[in-house]
Homo-oligomer: A and B are copies of this chain.
Amino acid sequence: MSPHPRVGREHILDIAEKLFTEHGYKSASIRAIASECGVTNAAIYYHFPDKESLFAEVMQRHADNLREKMTIAGENIDFPREKLIAILKAYINTIAGQHAPIFMLRKDAKHLKKHGQHRAIWIQRVSQPLVKALQFAQEKNEIKTQPKAEEAASMLLGMLHGLAQQRRCAGIEGRAILEDDIEMVVNLFWEGIEKQ
């Protein structure tokens, strides 16, 4: 039987996420997290070998949540281009709703030893609904099979991030990307910039 049956992993992750977000990775100690959970440090270490593992799970839970919202948004849409638009709208709307926390957490992740690995997991999880939608479009013979769906998904997300960065550099306040922009980006990705 577990020595700490009443301290659930999910509860620890909730508290850890709150403290990492409020104080940053370095300042939020295992002791503070345990204290806020009302348990000993050992109860935390029972579930997570170290602080970095705990942080990595907080990030992965974020990625899973985002992926789920994207997947649900694209379900039951039969037209690949519209599927992509719906998935990306869910992506920007979810991120906009939690902007500060998730960016603060991801910035913090730069200090970690396995940063590259955490980042790769995060990106792969979040881009998965796009990859599936692009594979679906390839199977329907609507789009080219080169580049591969994984590469096409990363380029599509890159267009969106590039546009967001440009808007912020140009001094846009508030949300850099609106729902209309998603349609513009997907249409450009789909049809190209060439004048027909």
Contact = CB atoms under 8 A, between A and B. Distances in A.
Interface residues of A, number: 43
Interface string A139-163: 0011110110011111111111111
A168 interface: yes
Interface stretch (A18-26, A52-60, A118-126): A118-126
Main secondary structure of the interface of A (DSSP, over half): helix
Nearest to A160: B158
A39 B49 CA distance: 51
A170 interface: yes
A166 interface: yes
A28 interface: no
Nearest to A187: B192
As for how many copies of this chain the complex holds, the number is: 2
Given A142-B194, A195-B142, A158 B147 contact: no
**Residue among A152, A155, A157, A191 with max Cβ neighbours from chain B (10 Å):** A155
Contacts of A8: none
Given A157-B162, A162-B156, A165-B158, A193 B188 contact: no
A184 interface: yes
Contacts of A170: 150
A46 interface: no
A89 to B, nearest CB: 17
5 contacts: A107-B110, A120-B169, A124-B169, A152-B188, A191-B194
Interface of A: 107, 110, 116, 119-120, 123-124, 127, 141-144, 146-147, 150-163, 165-166, 168-170, 184-185, 188-195
